[in-house]
Amino acid sequence: MTLSLTFALISTLLSFTVAQFTENWASTTSPTFVTYGTHGSPESAFADPAALDGRALRLTLNANPPAGVGGAPAAETYGRFKYGTYWTRAKTGNCSNQPLAGVVSGIFTYFNDQGDRNGNGIADNSEIDFEWLCADPKVVHLSIWTDYQESNPPNIRVVYRTIDLSTGRVQMECYREQFGECRLLSGPERQPATVTPISGYDSSTEYFWYGLEFAADRVHFMIRGRNDEVITLWDYRGPAARMPNDEMHFMHNVWHTNNWWPEGDDGTMIESPRSPVYMFVDSSSFTPL
């Protein structure tokens, strides 16, 4: 049996045997997550006084990496999960020494085996994302994917919300069925219409708890404020066809982008990082419904 088939079998088995977990990254190994990265390095049990127990996972993106998620440092659950609550306490990549660097930090669920179980002729892509651009750490990008296909022809199915958390302003809300398209959301797909701001929010200089509640009819994105209050970022209740249907891996990563820049920029904020960029993960957990 090949290594890839062995890993796929283990992943499938664990998706049915592993239910609830909490990983505080205090040990150099994890029973729940595998870490990897050829263009960077993951380091568990990294000494960090800002972590709740003094230890965290540090994901290091090397200087001058190639663009894209391939080879980027990441942590991924062995097993797959579906409906339930996911929480991560994290601090995203800091590019203050190179403000034009193009780097993405992500906390997300993901599964894509190129199947087409919904029968729409596009490869299924079950994915729910928190993402931050290093050049604009006050803004969080939230997205829910059901399909993604790079070619023959390129196509996507995704709903998307972008929020400046330092002001609470919702910058964009869209549904896309192809690259470049943006259909504005309405009604239950837009709640809440306004978001409580966090004064001085900067995802790269301060740890925050980021939460995701996933059910058959709902994707609820949350953040805990500095007084541990839960702030709703997006309580999405759209059509069933816009909800992921697969069990997914729970993941964290940091990678270089050369084609995604902050709102209002003219495409300058995509430089390859000239020095290492670090993302820190203090705790990761999942509780099934």
Note the pLDDT tens digit of each residue in 143-197: 999 999 887 778 899 999 999 999 999 999 999 988 878 899 989 999 999 999 9
Q: What CATH number has the domain spanning 3-288?
A: 2.60.120.200
**Domains of the chain by residue range:** 3-288
The pLDDT, as a whole number, for residue 6 is 41
The pLDDT, as a whole number, for residue 71 is 96
d(CA 258, CA 52): 34
**DSSP H or E run through 14:** helix 3-17
What is the gyration radius of the CA atoms in the chain, in angstroms? 18
The pLDDT, as a whole number, for residue 219 is 98
The pLDDT, as a whole number, for residue 26 is 97
- Average pLDDT on 244-253 reads 97
Does the pLDDT at position 45 exceed 90? yes
At 229, give phi and psi (nearest 5°). Answer: -75, 145
Share of residues in the chain with pLDDT > 90 (%)? 85
The pLDDT, as a whole number, for residue 8 is 45
The pLDDT, as a whole number, for residue 5 is 40
Other CB atoms within a 10 A radius of the CB of residue 48 amount to 18
pLDDT band at 18 (very low <50, low <70, confident <90, very high): low
Report the predicted TM-score, pTM, of the whole model to 2 decimal places.
Answer: 0.92
Pairing of strands 33-36, 218-224: unpaired
Share of residues in the chain with pLDDT > 70 (%)? 94
**DSSP H or E run through 211:** strand 208-215
